[in-house]
Structure 1
Amino acid sequence: MTLNKKSPFSAQNLLLLIPVLIIFGCASIQRPMGGPRDKTPPKVLKSTPVNPTRNFVAKTIQIDFDEYFKLNNVYQEITVSPDMVKAPEYNIKQKSLVIKLKDTLSKNTTYVINFGKAIVDVTEGNILKNFTYVFSTGQHIDSLNVSGMVSNNQQGKEKDVTVMLIPLKQDSIYFGKKKPAIYTTTDTAGNFKLSNLHDGDYKIYALKETGPNKIYDNEEELIGFTKNIIHLKKDTANIQLVLFKQIPAKLRPLDRKIDQDGKLLFTFNKGIDNPGVKILTPALDAEKIVEFSKKADTATIYLKTLTFDSVKVSFLSGDKPLDTITLRRGQRETYKRKVTLDYNLSSEKLRPGTELLIKASYPIENIDPTRITLTEDSVEVNDFNFQRDVNDAKKFTVKYKWRPGKQYNLAFNEGTFTTIYGDKNTRLVKHFELEKPESFGMFTLRMTVPDTGQYVVQLLNSNDIELRSDIITKNTSLVYKNFYTGKYHLKVIYDANHNGKWDTGSIKKLTQPENIWIYKKDITLRPNWEDTIDIEIPKEIRHP
């Protein structure tokens, strides 16, 4: 018996099914997703002519890689040594780099093409660092090497730092003005190596820059150098370069403004030695109150009179004028202020053996002590002493025999303080207690110095914030009482100029930054614990 129903595999249906099978078939051979990330930079498979080549006469160089790549920052990263008047042309063809030489090559000369960080794979951005192609137009290829390490006094070994070697006769032409032809970058351990060098006299620099131009042209960049000239006649190793940030030669304002509360704010690119301020116009110099930051690179000026159209401020170092800045204000400008207080408390607790220190948000002109109340466990006490700081109109001290286990309530009722602007405080209350003795410990550092020099011993907390600084010149013991339990670090400055602080270097003066030694072990302070630690400061390793 014959059925009239069509078979599902008829020719017509089969034709419809073929495209679907093709689509799914193609999908099944796609690259699987996931898997480990590719961290390998492009690999050179072949160079034509070979790398290196003697008696070079070619006009074109082809370098074949194992994967697709791209070139980043060609004119910043790629250099040719010695310089070519006409720069080469760089073209990418599939997985190959084709270099066309446009210039006439000098005879019996070794050329080095340094690609820096220019060669990058297209998928993950992995960089082929410091790849060089070398050729010579004569029988000899320069083969001298210079190697060493770059470090930072503050942070240790530095990676990805540009190390530049400049022929001595070109130093004044290139340093800080042009990209050098001979350079490399440090590895993860701070090591560097410059190869295929010609004999001669060189200056060497290390540069941690803010941009990719290989030029020291920004005062925020870190620089390192050796004051000794490298007389390159044989391989030279163990060059030590220490990075530092120079103090800018000229004082320059970074910010200047009249704040919303009327105070004048100035920020500079460096600190001012023996800083001073003079109000030139209007005649308000006698009423000014000036507050400099610890580094003397920020100044806050309070003026009682705020009706001027403009104010001209002169900044001085001692009696020497450094800069004059003018600020203008609108006649309709108004200012909003609120008196607040800061205390030397940690989590509302006062450290034993200390007085309660208070700092107001604005200079205080008058105080009404009758409006101050202090209670101990809710009982009012009167035998406390409230004192002004004779050198700072914003600071005060409350002296009292604080006792453990007691709850204190200090209230500055409305109108206790009157600022220089005539503003009065609203009621301000502070609750606190004396920190328990078991939260503190004591330790002694028995310091041994290597010679008769001067050293600055700094104690830092776990956040590397300086807590205390001592100057020593001989073997001595430093006692640290009532310090919070926890971990501390120790840093020692070799104070070469005996000014009690760390000083950076200067290329112009050929001075290196002062050395710093960091004690490798943590100092762990336990509750109710007294410990003695022997610290031997190593002999200073002087920079070349």
Structure 2
Amino acid sequence: MRDESVRDVTARRMWVQRLVLVGTALGIAVLMVRCANPVPPSGGPRDRTPPRITASDPAQGAVNVSGRTLRLAFNEYVNRSSLREALTITPFVPGELAFSWDAREVTITFPEPFRDSTTYIVELSTDFSDVQGVSLESPLTFAFATGAKINSGTLAGRVVDGYSGAPQAGVDVLAYAQTSAPAAMAAWPERPDYQTQTGEDGTFRFEYLRETTYYVVALRDNNRNRRPDPLEPMAVPPRVQLPADSTQPPVPVPWLLARVDTLAPTLQRARAESRARTAFVFNEPMQVHRATLDEWTLIDSIAQDTVAIRGVYQQAEAPATVWLHTARMQATPHVLRVPRGGLTDTLGTPIDRERLRFTASAAPDTVRGALQALLPEPTSTDTLGYGALPPRARPRARFDHPVDSTVVRRVVSVQDTAGAAVPYHLTTVDGTEHALHIQWPPGGRVRIVGNPRNRPDTLQVRVRRLPASALGALEGRVMVVDTTWTTSGDSTTAAAPRRADSLNTASDKRSLRGRRWVQMEPTRPQVPVRPRMQPVGSDSTFRFEQLPEGEFSFRAFWDVDGNKRWNPGRLAPYRPAEAAAWSAQPTASRPRWTNVISAPLRIVTLSSSALYDTVYVPQRTPPAHR
């Protein structure tokens, strides 16, 4: 008995010792974590205040500084890894920075002593946060100099979305000094001279710049390499040369941020489905420009015969695939010749080649189009279950492959509320989607029934045509606000805006080439409404009619290149974005009424900005590799 008691006591002691060891190890681990990234005690109200710098050495504005260290003190514990990501020092510091932490302070040691007669700018971007994850609302910036004075140049502006006009926060803004007249160059500069970031309201401000001119680019630098890359949203400056000095006002024209797709769509594979049908699969959604179809040609590479093209179409569920329907082909190599601009991505960039090669299949063509959907699907219905249809809209029957009107009429019927057949005729563009032009019965209500052969159930939509008494109109005005920047000596000032109510009354004819367009977008419609676009009248007014009750927003732009599409510009060679304007708030449409938008759409331009200059960024030695 005594031996068993001794064994029990010994076992309990060993168990307690193990618990002590485990607890000690956990305590050491927690202590190490807290030392790596200190965390304040929990409890109390939630921290919503971003961190700030309480002291620095060198101090803000210090001159004649020497050494190689920079000390920053903060008002609270900060996320140390975020400081490394958010820190930018100008001019660029080659080599590795060393970080030494002491509670709320950090000492940053440069690999070499500070340069002589240089202004250093230290900025923490909005990526910098405290340990609670509260980030800066706008960048923190301070400067010191190793010479007798600090550079005093400033340059400010605003970045907005090019399509909606919404302010863009957290966008990187890069400034490249122009030491000589801009000209074409072989490669983009390896790094910017200065960098900052936009705040919550989309504004940015460079301070402590050398007083010269700059090429200023805004971009969402997703890969953090401080240079514009394909598919990254970016904005070109409203003018190729922007001066910076101590009296510089903000640039009055915003930077318009948009994704600029300079990469041509690439054919990934050609899939021969049959001897009359081939699918071309691309790496992104595509658009077929049907006005060019008469110029498309298909050649049998062996026989050198031309094969008739019966149709080119796409399927809604596979926008990256383009189908080619032809006369019977031999199972030999073929070449499809597509004219320039005949096949593009959704942003208008044409394919990277104009000859698409494939080998046809010998399999018979057994494809038969099947009904996929009846459109539009009502977003809301009345008490009888009928969705409203605006006058310009037509019900549509969508098939997966092209069919003729005989097939549509065999599977789609239109009935009135009593079940009697309602006459209709059909129109189509490519055979996959057919618009139903209905002879509306009294009361304007019909039931559209589809009987697809590939599914046991039927498709059905109920629609009612809106009467004229339920429709209204919206009208407004587009004004040109010509803001002049005049440069005199080393200073630049912004003069009072000059307004031009029409193309004919503007003072700067060169900058007013092109035509103005206005786009209407439903923001809160009670019935489905497609966006519309129309040119602005010669009297600078516009009017959209037959609108159902709801709210609509507007956007105007200056179509300089004449393609009826807003152009976000180009970085190299430089071309400014087409000027644009947006309605400040949606405007409501009322039945049997014409409402006027609350304020004119003001397209702001810089009068001395040449719209077709093909100049580039400052001359710089290109990097050895990208």
Instruction: Give the TM-score range, shorter chain.
Output: 0.7 to 0.9
Q: Given the alignment of the two structures, is residue 242 of structure 1 paired with residue 252 of structure 2, yes or no?
A: no
**Partner residue of 1:42?**
51
SS in 2 for 1:72: helix
Moved more, 210-219 or 447-456: 447-456
* Sequence identity percentage: 15
1:540 shift after superposition: 3.2
Comparing both structures, which one devotes a greater share of its residues to strand?
1
Q: Given the alignment of the two structures, is residue 343 of structure 1 paired with residue 383 of structure 2, yes or no?
A: no
SS in 1 for 2:547: strand
Q: Given the superposition, is the C-alpha separation of residues 133 and 197 from structure 1 closer, same or farther in structure 2, using an over 3 Å criterion?
A: same
**Partner residue of 1:458?**
519
Q: Given the alignment of the two structures, is residue 186 of structure 1 paired with residue 203 of structure 2, yes or no?
A: no
- Mapping of residues 15-54 of structure 1, within 5 Å: 34-54=43-63
Q: Given the superposition, is the C-alpha separation of residues 452 and 78 from structure 1 closer, same or farther in structure 2, using an over 3 Å criterion?
A: same
* Cα distance in 2 for residues equivalent to 1:414 and 1:83: 66
Moved more, 437-446 or 46-55: 437-446
Q: Does the 8 Å contact 2:297/2:337 carry over to 1?
A: yes
* Cα distance in 1 for residues equivalent to 2:542 and 2:116: 68
SS in 1 for 2:108: strand
* Cα distance in 1 for residues equivalent to 2:521 and 2:425: 32
* Cα distance in 2 for residues equivalent to 1:376 and 1:104: 86
Q: Given the superposition, is the C-alpha separation of residues 205 and 455 from structure 1 closer, same or farther in structure 2, using an over 3 Å criterion?
A: same
Q: Does the 8 Å contact 2:377/2:461 carry over to 1?
A: no
Q: Which of 100, 114, 117 is the aligned partner of 2:123?
A: 114
Q: Given the alignment of the two structures, is residue 530 of structure 1 paired with residue 593 of structure 2, yes or no?
A: yes
Q: Given the alignment of the two structures, is residue 517 of structure 1 paired with residue 557 of structure 2, yes or no?
A: no
Q: Given the superposition, is the C-alpha separation of residues 286 and 230 from structure 1 closer, same or farther in structure 2, using an over 3 Å criterion?
A: same
1:451 shift after superposition: 0.8
* Cα distance in 2 for residues equivalent to 1:536 and 1:474: 19
Q: Does the 8 Å contact 2:589/2:595 carry over to 1?
A: no
* Cα distance in 2 for residues equivalent to 1:476 and 1:127: 43
1:452 shift after superposition: 2.4
Q: Given the superposition, is the C-alpha separation of residues 256 and 35 from structure 1 closer, same or farther in structure 2, using an over 3 Å criterion?
A: farther
SS in 2 for 1:541: strand
SS in 1 for 2:401: coil
- Mapping of residues 431-510 of structure 1, within 5 Å: 432-435=462-465, 437=467, 440-443=470-473, 445=475, 447=477, 450-452=501-503, 454-462=515-523, 466-475=530-539, 480-510=544-574
Q: If the length of structure 2 is used for normalisation, what is the TM-score? A: 0.66
SS in 2 for 1:238: coil
After superposition, the C-alpha distances for 1:455-506 in whole angstroms (9 at most, x for unaligned) are 2222221169753222133138766554322222222223334443322211
CA-based RMSD: 4.6
Q: Given the alignment of the two structures, is residue 141 of structure 1 paired with residue 164 of structure 2, yes or no?
A: no
After superposition, the C-alpha distances for 1:395-423 in whole angstroms (9 at most, x for unaligned) are 445444312447644556677xxxxxxxx
* Cα distance in 1 for residues equivalent to 2:267 and 2:66: 54
> Which residue identity lines up with residue 229 of structure 1 in the other structure?
Q
1:162 shift after superposition: 1.7
* Cα distance in 1 for residues equivalent to 2:388 and 2:330: 42
Q: Which structure has the greater CA radius of gyration?
A: 1
1:363 shift after superposition: 0.4
Q: Given the alignment of the two structures, is residue 401 of structure 1 paired with residue 433 of structure 2, yes or no?
A: no
* Cα distance in 2 for residues equivalent to 1:426 and 1:310: 40
SS in 2 for 1:113: strand
> Which residue identity lines up with residue 451 of structure 1 in the other structure?
S
Q: Given the superposition, is the C-alpha separation of residues 388 and 284 from structure 1 closer, same or farther in structure 2, using an over 3 Å criterion?
A: farther
1:77 shift after superposition: 4.0
**Partner residue of 1:266?**
282
After superposition, the C-alpha distances for 1:174-194 in whole angstroms (9 at most, x for unaligned) are 985534242111222222222
SS in 1 for 2:213: strand
Moved more, 109-118 or 202-211: 109-118
Q: Given the superposition, is the C-alpha separation of residues 109 and 394 from structure 1 closer, same or farther in structure 2, using an over 3 Å criterion?
A: closer
1:87 shift after superposition: 4.2
- Mapping of residues 104-253 of structure 1, within 5 Å: 104-117=113-126, 119-127=128-136, 130-132=139-141, 134-153=143-162, 154-169=164-179, 176-239=188-251, 240-245=253-258, 247-253=260-266
* Cα distance in 1 for residues equivalent to 2:116 and 2:122: 17
Unaligned runs of 5+ in 2: 1-39, 343-349, 480-500, 505-514, 610-626
* Cα distance in 2 for residues equivalent to 1:144 and 1:181: 13
Give the structure, 1 or 2, with the largest relative contact order (CA under 8 Å, sep 6 or more): 2
- Mapping of residues 403-442 of structure 1, within 5 Å: 403-405=441-443, 408-410=446-448, 428=458, 430=460, 432-435=462-465, 437=467, 440-442=470-472
Q: Which of 395, 400, 403 is the aligned partner of 1:361?
A: 400
> Which residue identity lines up with residue 519 of structure 2 in the other structure?
Q
**Partner residue of 2:5?**
none
Moved more, 271-280 or 111-120: 271-280
Q: Does the 8 Å contact 2:65/2:147 carry over to 1?
A: yes
Q: Does the 8 Å contact 2:98/2:110 carry over to 1?
A: yes
Unaligned runs of 5+ in 1: 1-30, 416-423
SS in 1 for 2:192: coil
Q: Does the 8 Å contact 1:338/1:425 carry over to 2?
A: no
Q: Given the superposition, is the C-alpha separation of residues 68 and 336 from structure 1 closer, same or farther in structure 2, using an over 3 Å criterion?
A: farther
Q: Does the 8 Å contact 1:251/1:268 carry over to 2?
A: no
Moved more, 123-132 or 424-433: 424-433
After superposition, the C-alpha distances for 1:110-141 in whole angstroms (9 at most, x for unaligned) are 22333435643223353485334533223222
Q: Given the alignment of the two structures, is residue 92 of structure 1 paired with residue 124 of structure 2, yes or no?
A: no
Q: Given the superposition, is the C-alpha separation of residues 167 and 75 from structure 1 closer, same or farther in structure 2, using an over 3 Å criterion?
A: farther
* Cα distance in 2 for residues equivalent to 1:197 and 1:399: 64
Q: Given the superposition, is the C-alpha separation of residues 235 and 531 from structure 1 closer, same or farther in structure 2, using an over 3 Å criterion?
A: closer
**Partner residue of 1:376?**
416
Q: If the length of structure 1 is used for normalisation, what is the TM-score? A: 0.75
* Cα distance in 1 for residues equivalent to 2:547 and 2:299: 47
**Partner residue of 1:540?**
603
1:530 shift after superposition: 2.4
SS in 1 for 2:308: helix
Q: Does the 8 Å contact 1:164/1:204 carry over to 2?
A: yes
* Cα distance in 1 for residues equivalent to 2:334 and 2:456: 31
Q: Given the superposition, is the C-alpha separation of residues 100 and 371 from structure 1 closer, same or farther in structure 2, using an over 3 Å criterion?
A: closer
1:223 shift after superposition: 2.2
> Which residue identity lines up with residue 317 of structure 1 in the other structure?
R
